[in-house]
Structure 1
């Protein structure tokens, strides 16, 4: 994959994976997407199908129940799913890159053996408990606390906008919490593993969202949640730094999902422009429509190239923070711009929720917010440029 940018051709195993997921997306996901969106229901049968395909284990070693693939394989799957249903795609993205990946990256062997086989199977989900009512982009503003009481951590606080946190198969939340004060007076932030069955843990009622209506999202409450001291994930005081690494990787995954959404809008617009007639000919024969779709295709292509580049650097073990931010920024804006243009091309039909472009229009805005806002990406890019 690392030489794709020069060769222009993905290796066979990646092409086959993309085709398999594409077929699944078209035949299994797409037919029920509008229904789940309208009813705000979590697509358990679809998720079961993805689990059976091994998608939740794509980037993890076989010793933990994974498929032995890599992060780019996950991104290809996200792109294909994102074309037809962003809610399903974000369920996979959050389940893998935000749910299971912290355990894999920073867990000890006992934690990996306990949790990863459950999570890589897709039969259980984990959530990423970072954002709080007063700590979003300013994650250092974390107020949730974890205090040692004998051999246990006592966790108290609140999290919000947490994906995959309240489903029937959610089993774990990794939580950032203040565990002390450093010598310089700043907060010591660590990460604690909290099984969702622990007394005092509550997934509050789900949000009524603009989009991603088939994705599970809840605020969380931790009231005297007691977990063993060995549920510390990674080194004490490294929770914030470790989660920043997870977010860097996750931005590549979100970029891939965004590219899928952008390309999905292109595909739907091309089909519609060929079929829809006005004034005696297909609307695609008009340059105003044809040129708009051409620009949409350009955005999707450029964004795809950006996330391929970031993924290649990551897999090669090279610095990729700036490229991940560039990919996330370019791709999320491409998704939003393409959704707006596709809705315009569809006219009145584009304003009807049963059409995929209408769902993309509602779904895509969060891509410019989640896992680091557009403004955060600009800040990171400028910082990496030396400003």
Structure 2
């Protein structure tokens, strides 16, 4: 049951049709096997890039798609409904381009951004550290100025695409002035001294490599600093507002996929002489699942439309991320219940969906942090 969408233009509607076609032909059938084998499928991202889907919210002058966030996020949802790890990866890539687009000089953007948003290169985002997840101001990775270069030393944990990406947007400390002492750097993957630690063994999203990135005296030129010294934390926090919407859309996509599987099963499975969808107890579960999916979609689209209009949207982004990921956890758990014992087996994808959305309540700021952001905004 494809999501019903009211797109703002014919071009946007065509993008959704293109995305659904790619999802069916290139993503859905590969997802389960890649998850089982913990295999990162780099070529899938090249396919998305060549279709113009990895740079949708960035301007056409930089080889982006020139689409509003309202459209881009619905593309992410469609991708994630077929393959959660790729949907998340698309969101992470777009986030990795944010610092350069938002804070780079015209010369920096002209030099690097077209290759980044054009689709051939894949990005990663290095903010968290093992001791500084929800408190990025406590980071210890340091960048020391040495003439026309910075020397970066430290470790960045939980890096999506760690060891697979072509470039890394890195936050590192340039002074001891707390949150005002952090700067942002664009680091190429082939920089000497940069390597990935062993990938994490995870509950889900196993086809998405997550690793700690180790910086052992990595030298980057001053021209690869984005923004001013000390501007890194504002860059990171601004990017996370948009990144949270990407995760909200991805979670909604997985929830939609879980609903589709559960509904199809409930129409075919017969108990007590009729399809189980006709039993009120189960029908009401499905109704609640549908309401949760559509509520999540409405939440992220509202935040996206505020962003597209140039209005503040930080609180709404946190609300969308909170609602969409909590709803997705409930919907996928209910999908397992609808399928009964079959839902607990790997014969159906709903057990995988449940494992995949759990981390969406955690990354891009835990849902407890989202409540903190929302409550502080309300108190202003």
Q: TM-score range by the shorter chain?
A: over 0.9
Contact 1:126/1:165, CA 8 A, preserved across alignment: no
Q: What CA distance in whole angstroms lies between the structure 1 residues aligned with 2:234 and 2:98?
A: 14
In the TM superposition, what whole-angstrom CA distance separates every residue of 1:338-371 from its partner, at most 9, and x where no partner exists? 0000011111221223422111111000110010
Task: Name the CA distance, whole Å, in 2 between partners of 1:372 and 1:144.
Answer: 19
1:181 aligns to 2:176 (yes or no) = yes
The answer as to whether partners of 2:152 and 2:218 remain within 8 angstroms in 1 is yes
1:157-168 mapped onto 2 (5 Å cutoff): 157-167=154-164
Equivalent pairs counted in the alignment come to 376
Answer yes or no: is the 8 Å Cα contact 1:299–1:334 preserved in 2.
yes
What pairs up with 1:192-271 in 2 under 5 angstroms?
192-271=185-264
2:151 corresponds to which residue? 154
Matches within 5 A, 1:70-81: 70-81=68-79
Structure 1 pair 252–139 and aligned structure 2 pair: CA distance change class (3 A): same
Contact 1:51/1:121 (8 A) holds in 2: yes
Map of 2:11 onto structure 1: 13
Bigger shift: residues 289-298 or 12-21 = 12-21
Alpha-carbon distance between aligned partners in 2 of 1:353 and 1:211, rounded to the nearest angstrom: 13
SS of alignment partner, residue 32 of structure 1: helix
Quote the Cα distance in structure 2 between the aligned partners of 1:348 and 1:47.
35
Deviates more, 1:79-88 or 1:107-116: 107-116
Distance 1:384 1:291 in 2: 35
Cα separation, partners in 2 of 1:52 and 1:348, compared to 1, 3 Å: same
- Partner of 2:169, secondary structure, is strand
SS at 1:175 equivalent: strand
Partner of 1:143: 140
Query: Partner of 1:56: helix, strand, or coil?
Result: coil
- Provide TM-score, normalisation by structure 1: 0.94
Matched position secondary structure for 1:166:
coil
CA drift at 1:216: 2.0
In the other structure, the counterpart of 1:38 is 36
**Judging changes above 3 Å, is the alpha-carbon distance between structure 1 residues 295 and 220 closer, same or farther for their aligned structure 2 residues?**
same
1:94 to 1:354, Cα distance in 2 relative to 1, 3 A: farther
Shift of 1:123: 1.3
Instruction: For residues 222-254 of structure 1, give each alpha carbon's deviation from its aligned partner in whole angstroms, at most 9, with x where no partner exists.
Output: 011111112111111110011100001111111
Partner of 2:280: 287
CA RMSD of aligned residues (A): 1.6
What are the ranges of 5 or more consecutive residues in structure 1 without an aligned counterpart? 1-6
Taking the aligned partners of 1:82 and 1:113, their CA distance within structure 2 comes to: 31
2: distance between equivalents of 1:14 and 1:334?
26
> Which of 347, 351, 357 is the aligned partner of 2:340?
347
* Unaligned stretches of 5+ residues in structure 2: none
What is the CA distance between 1:84 and its match in structure 2? 2.0
From 289, 305, 312, the equivalent of 1:312 is: 305
Q: Structure 2 vs 1, CA of residues 255 and 100 (structure 1 numbering), >3 Å: closer, same or farther?
A: same
Alpha-carbon distance between aligned partners in 1 of 2:121 and 2:246, rounded to the nearest angstrom: 20
CA distance in 1, matches of 2:34, 2:359: 18
Name 2:61's counterpart in structure 1. 63
339, 357, 363: which one aligns with 1:364: 357
Query: Which residue among 119, 122, 126 is the counterpart of 1:125?
Result: 122
Match of 1:4 in 2: none
Secondary structure of the structure 2 residue equivalent to 1:199: coil
Q: Is the 8 A contact 2:180 2:231 kept in 1?
A: no
**Worse-superposed segment, 57-66 or 234-243:** 57-66
Q: Is the 8 A contact 2:98 2:239 kept in 1?
A: yes
Equivalent of residue 330 in structure 1, options 323, 329, 338: 323
Q: 2:167 aligns with which of 163, 172, 179?
A: 172
Change over 3 Å in CA distance of 1:172–1:9 after alignment to 2? closer
Looking at structure 1, the residues matched to 245 and 98 of structure 2 have their Cα atoms a distance apart, in angstroms, of 14
Tell me the distance in 2 between the aligned counterparts of 1:132 and 1:241: 17
TM-score (norm 2): 0.95
Q: What is residue 289 of structure 2 aligned with on the other side?
A: 296
